[in-house]
Structure formats: C-alpha cells, structure tokens
Amino acid sequence: PEEDEGLSPISDRLMTELTAHRTLGLRHALGEQPDVAFSAALHALTLKVFYQYGSDSCLELDLKTVSFGAQAPGLNDSVSAEAIHARHESWTKALPKDSADLW
C-alpha cells in the first residue's frame, strides 16, 4: 500500500533484524573483553546515579535506590548514612557536569 509520506528507507522488519545483529555483536564483544564490559556497566550505572537524564549507553541496566529513612527512625542521620551522602556529593562534584563528557 502507498504511504502518505513516501517509502520508508528501512522496513520495520529490517530494522528489527539489524538491531538484533548489533545487540548480538555487542554481547559477544563484551563477553570477550570483561574489562571493557565492566567499564561499560560502570558508565551506564554512573549515568543513572549522577546524571538526572543520563541515558547515553548501549546497555540497559536497572538501578534501584532505596531510601532508608522509612526503614527506621533516625537512620538517615546515622554515621553510615551521612558518610554515604558525603561520598555521593564528593563524586557529584568530581564528575563532569555534562554526561556526554563522562566516557
């Protein structure tokens, strides 16, 4: 059937197949180079933790952050919680402002 906007340069099926090949190639490459895989995973997680809209990664990793304040009264004011918060702030200041500069 004719499309209103003309022909699509790449069919949906071809795009799906090309994406699957790319994904398979990336999986193989990362499996052969664990040091690169670790760096890529660290990059993806750092984007999620320190950059509000950072999603420029080929990896789909999920990160869950738990707020411990609801778990026990005063927990957020504990020595451990304050140390974690201070470390997070220190990393925030040390990392580049633009997520594109992280890699």
Distance of CA 38 to the CA centre of its chain: 13
Distance of CA 30 to the CA centre of its chain: 16
Distance, in Å, from the CA atom of 42 to the CA atom of 93, rounded to the nearest integer, reads: 18
Q: Given this model, what pLDDT does residue 6 score?
A: 67
* Any domain includes 4: no
Find out whether 57 and 47 touch, Cβ atoms under 8 Å: yes
Q: How many domains does the chain have?
A: 1
Q: For the whole model, what pTM was predicted? A: 0.65
> What domain range is 23 assigned to?
12-56+63-101
* Any domain includes 18: yes
Reference 39, options 87, 102, 97, 93; nearest CA is 102
Q: Given this model, what pLDDT does residue 38 score?
A: 94
* Any domain includes 5: no
pLDDT digits (tens, 9 = 90+) for 62-72: 888 777 777 78
Residue 74 phi/psi, 5-degree rounding, is 80, 0
Residue 3 pLDDT level (bands cut at 50, 70, 90)? low
* Any domain includes 96: yes
pLDDT digits (tens, 9 = 90+) for 22-53: 989 988 999 999 999 999 999 999 998 888 77
Percent of the chain with pLDDT over 90: 43
* Any domain includes 1: no
Find out whether 10 and 3 touch, Cβ atoms under 8 Å: no
* Average pLDDT, integer, range 62-88: 85
